[in-house]
Chain A
Amino acid sequence: MASAHHPSGEEDSPRDEAFRRELVGLIPHLRAFARTLCGDPTAADDLAQDAMLKAWDARNSFQMGTNMKAWTFMILRNQFYSEKRRSWRQSQLDQEAAERTLVAVDDPEAPVALDELRQGLAMLPIEQREALILVGAGGFAYEEAAAICECAVGTVKSRVSRARRALQGILASGAYRRDGSAAGEAMASILADAERLSAIK
């Protein structure tokens, strides 16, 4: 019956085998999504591995034939937030920082460099960042992104649109110039100080 011989001596059911094959195919996407949420590649791979394991453990609750990519992204996202639950404050600080950086876009800009984009993305509130990534890079429709983020479609649309505007403002403001990371370091230390102060309280 079972299609694959297993090292442990047990054989996967055909369903498990199909699930495993599809899950393995999604690993690169899980890594990419995790990287945009975490920033740090090592932490991102830890997150992606956790999500992969959780998906495997929960495979019996997955309905084969439905969108496994969206399902695993939702698992990864939940995992990320459950680990991050105590740092909601940080996301608020990020939002304030991004808003402070917003300026009018009035001069032509050189092509966007990837480093600047990464740094600009990191300044966005996490809700906006994930919405923009899912729709703008992950290839998800608004409806799918809404399902992954467990929010309304309109909320996703508004987050994506705000993220686009904010990102453009950040990049256009030159807060992150190619010739140095001073601005980024300054912002990071401002955020760190604010965190430390609020922790002391």
Chain B
Amino acid sequence: MKRARSKSPSLDEARLRQQAIGVKLRQMFDEVVNEPVPDEFLNILRRADEKRSGEG
């Protein structure tokens, strides 16, 4: 087994698993980033701006 050359196979294993977790973390985050932004966000921002104008 090639793996036997490594002093610590479990360290390699851990590293691989960390990489897998890292990939999934980004995937999880990006899933939300790629969702369409609900209209509500832009509506709220527009209303906030109108309110400011009203106050001014």
- On A, residues with C-beta under 8 Å from B are 6-10, 12, 20, 23-24, 27-29, 31-33, 35-36, 45, 48-49, 52-53, 56-57, 105-106, 108-109, 111-112, 114, 117-118, 132-133, 136-138, 164, 167-168, 171-172
Nearest B residue to A108 via CB reads: B13
Nearest B residue to A32 via CB reads: B32
- Given A10-B53, A49-B41, A52-B41, A114:B21 Cβ within 8 A: no
List 19 other contacts, CB 8 Å, given A8-B54, A57-B48, A105-B13.
A6-B53, A8-B50, A10-B56, A23-B45, A24-B41, A27-B41, A28-B32, A31-B37, A32-B29, A32-B33, A56-B49, A105-B17, A109-B17, A114-B24, A114-B31, A136-B22, A136-B26, A137-B25, A138-B29
For this complex, 19 residue pairs linking A to B, each with C-beta atoms less than 8 Å apart, are: A6-B49, A6-B50, A10-B53, A24-B45, A27-B37, A31-B37, A45-B40, A49-B41, A57-B48, A105-B10, A105-B17, A106-B10, A114-B31, A117-B21, A117-B24, A136-B22, A137-B26, A137-B29, A137-B30
The reply on B34 being an interface residue by CB < 8 A is: yes
CA A12 to CA B21, docked complex, whole Å = 44
- Given A136-B22, A168-B17, A168-B18, A114:B28 Cβ within 8 A: yes
Nearest B residue to A45 via CB reads: B38
The reply on B20 being an interface residue by CB < 8 A is: yes
- Given A8-B49, A8-B53, A105:B14 Cβ within 8 A: yes
Select one of A28, A49, A106, A133 contacting B44, CB under 8 A. Answer: A49
Which 6 A-B pairs rank lowest in CB-CB distance, beginning with the nearest?
A137-B29, A32-B32, A10-B53, A8-B53, A8-B50, A28-B33
- Given A7-B46, A49-B40, A105-B13, A114:B53 Cβ within 8 A: no
CA A56 to CA B50, docked complex, whole Å = 12
* Chain B proximity of A169: nearest CB distance (Å): 10
CA A111 to CA B27, docked complex, whole Å = 13
- Given A24-B42, A35-B32, A56-B45, A133:B25 Cβ within 8 A: yes
- Given A7-B50, A9-B53, A132:B25 Cβ within 8 A: yes
* Chain A proximity of B49: nearest CB distance (Å): 7
Select one of A56, A112, A138 contacting B21, CB under 8 A. Answer: A112
List the A side residues contacting B41 at CB < 8 Å.
24, 27, 45, 48-49, 52
